[in-house]
Each structure stands twice: as C-alpha cells, then as structure tokens.
Structure 1
Amino acid sequence: MSRLSIAFSAAALAFPSQAALAQDTPDGHWHGGLSVSGALASGNTSSLTLAANADASRATEEDKISLYGIANYGRNKVDGIQTTAADLLRLGGRYDFNYGPRWFAFGGAEGETNESGGVRDRYNLNGGVGYHVVKSDTHSWDVFGGLGYSDTRFTDGSQANGAQVLLGEESSHKVSETTSLRQRFVYYPHGGELDDRATFDAGLATTISGGWTLNAGLSSRYAGRVPAGTKKTDNLLTMGFGYKF
C-alpha cells in the first residue's frame, strides 16, 4: 500500500531547480540546484505540505563527487486534531574514481529519518565498482554493484543491521536543447536480518528563460521490513519552478 504525496509549487515558492539535474560536465566546477515546493490549504480542514530537493556534483576526467538531499514534511488538521503526514529527511553523497575509460570505483554514505514511514533513523555505507555503458555529451548510462553496511532503527523499537549487497543503474539524457532528464534505481537484496529495499529517483527540467526551469521530480522507496501498520512503499511527486547552476 503506497502513500502518494503531491506538492504543487506556487510562484512565490520558486527557488533554485530540481536536484536531479546536476551536471556531469568534467570541468572541475560544481553544478546542481535546489528546489522547494509547497501547498497550503485552510477552511473546513487545514493542511501544509513542503518538499525540497537538493543536488550538486563536481566532475573531472579522473573523478566525481556527488551530494544530494531530499526532505518532505506534511501536516493535516481535521476537527481540531493535528497529524503529521510526512517527515522525511535523507542526505547522502558518493565519490567516484575512474580507473579506465569505462570502469570506475565508488564509495558512498547515506543517512535518513522517516518516522511516518516507520524509520527512526537509517545509516548506510557502501562501496563497489561500476561501468559506463553509455558516455556522451547528450546521454550517459552507468551500471554498478557493490557491498554496504546498513543500520536501521524502527519506530517500534526494533533494529536491523548488517552487510547488504547493492545493485543499481543511473542515466542522464539531454532530451532537447531545453529539456534534461535523470533517473537512478538501486536495489538492496534480502540479506540476514535486513529485508530487501529498493529506491528510484527521477527528475525532469525544461528551461523556460535563462537558467529558470519548469521541473518535476519523483522519489519512490520500497522497504520489505517495516513496523506493523506502516506501508512498505512511499512516493513523493514534486512539480514546480526553479533555477539550475
């Protein structure tokens, strides 16, 4: 059972662009963006939804540093009773080192809290190797795999930790002179006391004037092990305006 949280940006909430559009141009400079989307309703019921995405990368011919973050907060109030619908915060980063025209090694770390999704906190360290299947100025596609260590504390007081394999792929596409698309999928198979997990992120941005963009993003998470009464899948869809650098 999935929870879908949709946040439509208003012009007053136009901040720098959707995270998923950080560039991989090997010029040694930082590229990326930040977007904030939100919705506010009042009347018979009141609600507040805020979503933020951030992404930055610095690439050279030898290596690449990638940083990312996502936050989602939702609050509902009905008949005087206030509930929290979403309280997700995820931060992470990865370092890639190219040791050939196609092969690269990587190491990464990620931290997350999502109490509405049953996760009090989760930490993950990983490393492995990858391969540039497609690498051009307009399109890129990488596949990668490795091993990591994860430690998760759930809201019901239980805990799961241990080593876990990871398999993934990611791509970026220059669809046209004004439109860019990125997507990333990672799967963590079942292992020991850690159940399987999967993550998918995608971002689309269209330049409307200068560096200003109209963008959309999708973030989806699946966890095989969650506390009783908690849904295994969370989806966040954001739409809004932004600015990329």
Structure 2
Amino acid sequence: MTRFKIVLAALALTSQAAWAQDTPDGQWHGGLSVSGALASGNTSSHTLAANADGSRATADDKISLYGIANYGRNKVDGIKTTTADLLRLGGRYDFNLGTQWFSFGSAEGETNRAGGVRDRYNLSGGVGYHVVKTDAHLWDVFGGAGYTDSRFTDGSRANGVQVLLGEESSHKLSEATSLKQRFVYYPDGGELGDRATFDAGLATRINGSWTLNAGLSSRYAERVPVGTKKTDNLLTMGFGYKF
C-alpha cells in the first residue's frame, strides 16, 4: 500500500460529508462519511471517496477544518491506470468584529495529479458579512486576497497574489436534515489564471448519530497542463457518523 493510500484510509476514518454545525458552544462538531466501489471480472477497479468537515465555534470566533479525498484505480488487460488521486486539506479561522462583520484567515493544500496539479498551496485573509443569521439559516459573503503557489505535473509552476470573492451558507431543513454550500472565485491572477471552487453537502440523520450523505465538489482552473480538463467534479453518496 502506498503512502497516499494510507493517507486516504486514515482520512476515510476521520472525515465527513455531514457538514459540521456552527453551534457557538465551544465544542467540536463534525462527523464522517465514506463511499466506495469495487469491481472484478473482465476488468477490475476500486474507488474511494471521503469528505471531512468539522468546526468549533464560540461567541467570539470559529475554527473550521475540512478535507476531501478521492482515489480510483482501473485494471484492464493487466494494465493499471490511476483515474483519480485527489487530496485536499484546509482550514479557516474567523474572528467576529461585531454582530454582522467578521475577519478571517485560511490555508489550503492540494494534490491532484490526475487533474494536472502536483501540489498547490494557498494562504489568504479578508473580511466577511453575515447577510442572514438565524438559528436555521446562515448566509455569509466574504472577500480578501491571498498567495497561491501551484506546481503542475508537466513541470511548470505558477505563483502570486490573487483576490478571492465568495459566499457560503448553511441551512437546517428539518430536525434530521441539513445542507451546506460554499462558492469561492479567484479572478485572473496573471500567470495563475481564473479559478473557482464549489462544495455542497446534504446530510440526513437516519438512526441516532448515523447519517445518509450526499456531496458535490467542483473545481475550475483556467491554467492546466496540455491534455488536462479545466473542470473536475466529484459527486459522492455514502453513510456517515455525526458527532
């Protein structure tokens, strides 16, 4: 088993698509969700997908952590092909500036060789505003700037300062079902090009702390190696555990 597979397995045991609730009680809230498939016969394949999201909120600040992993391998006529090998980890710290305004700082790391990205790192900061803030619904808009360093599988590299604009929301649809989504747009940063990310997750409690989860992760990058698509989408469905 390669090191990357070990990381994926560990993430699968500690990750989630049942997005964390922003209850300001100073406790960590999150969960775990994993989906996968195995096939054998004329062709053999195996896939594993996992999502992670957890947060700790108080009246003054909030810490959010997240992770996404997707690994796929096919074998046809004895020839093995890696179809997916995505791993993305990140976090954000929010500090309340008042009832509606907040400041934030975030960091993210990613590898996605099947998508042409050997590794990408991003550090950013800015301010946000709570457009809607109730017990059942929360909608934030935010903006700022950050530094991005991308290394691609063709040996090229792009780095520099990049503006970011985004929005995110969470919704308690019922006592058992919650929905969260996040969209971030990085306007053209010179050699970095345009980038955009979208993540959404739906979780429904089915028994106690066990949940049925669906997640969507979509990434667009204007600059990619030749022969690589600019958009990557990951749709997952699986079972999870919420804490």
Contact 1:19 1:68 in 2 (8 A): no
| 1:138 is aligned to 2:115 | no
Cα distance change of structure 1 residues 147 and 16 upon mapping to structure 2, 3 Å threshold? closer
Written as runs of structure 1 = structure 2, the 5 A alignment for 1:77-226 is: 77-226=75-224
Name the SS for the 1:206 alignment partner: strand
Identity of aligned residues (%): 84
SS of residue in 1 equivalent to 2:154: coil
User: For residue 167 of structure 1, what is the amino acid of its counterpart?
Assistant: L
Cα shift at 1:18: 3.2
TM-score of the superposition, structure 2-length normalised? 0.93
| Matching residue's letter, 1:130 | G
Figure out how many residues of one structure are paired with residues of the other and give that number. 232
Q: Give 1:35 shift.
A: 1.4
Residues 180-236 of structure 1 deviation map (CA, whole Å, 9 limit, x = unaligned): 000000000002211000000000011111111111000000000000000111111
- Residue by residue over 1:132-156, the C-alpha shift from the partner in whole angstroms, topping out at 9 and shown as x without a partner, is 0001110000000000000000000
Structure 2: which amino acid aligns with 1:146?
G
Supply the RMSD in Å over aligned alpha carbons.
1.2
Cα distance in 2, alignment partners of residues 100 and 79 from structure 1: 62
Question: Which consecutive residues of structure 2, in runs of 5 or more, have no partner in the other structure?
Answer: 1-11
8 Å CA contact retained: 1:20, 1:182: no
Q: Which is bigger in relative contact order (C-alpha 8 A, separation at least 6)?
A: 1
Is the Cα–Cα contact under 8 Å of residues 16 and 242 in structure 1 kept in the other structure? no
Match in the other structure for 1:4: none
What TM-score, normalized by structure 1, do the two folds share? 0.92
Q: Distance in 1 between matches of 2:15 and 2:90?
A: 18
Letter of the aligned partner of 1:166 in structure 2? L
1:3 matched residue in structure 2: none
- Distance apart, 1:52 and its partner CA: 1.0
- Cα separation, 2, equivalents of 1:19 and 1:125: 24
- CA contact under 8 A between 2:18 and 2:211: conserved in structure 1? no
Unaligned runs of 5+ in 1: 1-13
- Tell me, in whole angstroms, the C-alpha distance in 2 between the residues paired with 1:15 and 1:137: 30
Measured in 2, the distance between the counterparts of 1:230 and 1:112 equals 17
Where does structure 1 differ by over 2 angstroms across 4 or more consecutive aligned residues? 14-20
Deviation at 1:15, TM superposition (A): 6.3
Q: 1:206 and 1:17, CA in 2 relative to 1: closer, same or farther beyond 3 A?
A: farther
Q: Residue 229 of structure 1 aligns to a residue in which SS? A: coil
- Picking from 29, 35, 45, the partner of 2:27 is 29
